[in-house]
Structure formats: C-alpha cells, structure tokens
Amino acid sequence: MPKFAANLSLLFSELPFLERFAAARAAGFDAVEFLFPYAFEAEQIAARLQRYGLELVLHNLPAGDWAAGERGLACDPRRSAEFQDGVGLALDYALELGVRRLHCLAGRLPPNLGHERAHAAYVANLRHAAARCREHGITLLIEPINDRDMPCYFLTGTRQAAAVIEEVGAPNLGLQYDIYHMQRMEGELAETIRRYFPLIRHVQLADVPGRHQPGTGEINFPFLFGLLDELGYEGWVGCEYLPQGDTQASLAWLHEERKRHASWLDRA
C-alpha cells in the first residue's frame, strides 16, 4: 500500500490552518503537504510538525498573487528576478521544515508572449531553481495541470513535462504526477504511470469528476495503488482532493484501503 499524506490546503478546511496538523495526526496520517507556508512563520509550522510527529513532504515555490489568479512565475521571462527571489524564500522554509521536495508551478502563459519565449524562460528558471535545490539535497518537481481547471496553464501533459525534464538536464528535477489532472487531460493512467515511472518523484490524487475523494468518481484507485506497489514506488501520495462532505467522512476510502492491506499482510 502506498504511503498517504494529507494535503492541508484542501483537507480539514473546516478548521483554521494551524489546527489541521492535529486533525491529520488524529486521522492516522504520518505526513502532510500543502500549497504554501508563507502566510505563517516557519517556526509556527515546525512546532506543529514536531508536536504531532508529522513529516512535511512537499510545498510549492511562491506562485505570485494567488488570489488574483496567478499560478506561478516560471514561464514569464519578465519576472525571472522575482522567481529567483521566490526560490530563495522557499529554500529558507524548506530547510527550517525539513522538506525534501519543492514543486515549481509553471504559471499561465502570459498574454502577448509567444510559446517559444515562455518555454525558454521556463527551462532557464528551472535550471536555476534545480541548481539551488541541489545544493541542499532537495528535489525540484514540475506538475502538469489540466487546462480546464486552470486555463492557459503552461504545462499540461506528461509527455511535455518529460521533455522539459530532459532539456533541463538536472538530476534532481522530477515529475509530480497528479492522477486527477492527468485523467482529465490524458486518460490512460496506468500506461502513462508505467511509461514515465522513472521520472515520478511524487504522486497526488483526487477522483474525476468533481475532484473529490477516491470512490466518488470513475477512477479505479485500488488498481492504481496496486500498480504503484508493483512498480516499487516508495514516495508519498498526496491526498489533494476536495472532500465531499466533511473531511472525516471523506476518509472512508483510506480506512478501507488500510483494512485491505492489513488483510493481505495476514494472508501473506
């Protein structure tokens, strides 16, 4: 059975953010992830991680003005200095919080900017960020995101992401594979995971449609969890979904998965 991390940006949202760490531990999670830590002092988050015995497995680089619709800076050549400052800020937090993976949002294609210029800026910024992260033993991740939920997002497919990783050429640059986004964009989840498994360093999940918990839509999650086990995936699977109902009720799928795994271990 894969290891699951609670995404505190989406789960337990009925609670203030700093109270979600305790809720994640009470629900049986050993690890958490979230979008951004920057609204809080690193010491506040570190104290809660330590108090509840949680590992923080992932957060994002700064992504611009999120409330205004910005979704990353990496593909905008006019904001490279701001991007580089953001890398430094993310590393300050990562080192304080023990994070070993940082995700770089590509951003939306800026108006009146051609794809080639955006691509060149994206590659250059990733090379800079990967080099900075490598100094500290941190893996940098890129994630294709579906362009229905995030119109004009620059990175939308697994093949495109793999080509970017190859072009950047950094050994610590990997793929963050989001099952929800890639079901919406590509389908063929199992075959895609098999093909690009050597690049995958982090996985996230939500069901389709609705981006709710596993079991609410069309994706066969037990099959995919078995595939990850078969392939030898040792990373985390982030539960980045919008709970249908309250968060505790939405975790029924996870309790069933744990029971199934315990039963399999008993038989073995």
Q: Has 234 been annotated as catalytic?
A: no
Q: Is 19 a catalytic residue?
A: no
What are phi and psi for residue 237, nearest 5 degrees? Answer: -115, 115
Q: Are 167 and 174 in contact (CB under 8 A)?
A: no
Count other C-beta atoms under 10 Å from residue 80's C-beta: 15
DSSP letter at 173 equals E
Tokens of 209: 């449609």
3-state SS track over 210-245: CCCCCCCCCCCHHHHHHHHHHHCCCCEEEECCCCCC
Choice among 234, 240, 256, 257 that is catalytic:
240
105 contacts: CB under 8 Å, gap ≥ 6: 60, 61, 63, 71, 72, 73, 74, 143
Dihedral class, residue 152 (left if φ above 0, else alpha if ψ from -120 to 50, else beta): left
Among 143, 186, 218, 234, the active-site one is 143
Which positions are annotated as active-site residues?
Answer: 143, 240
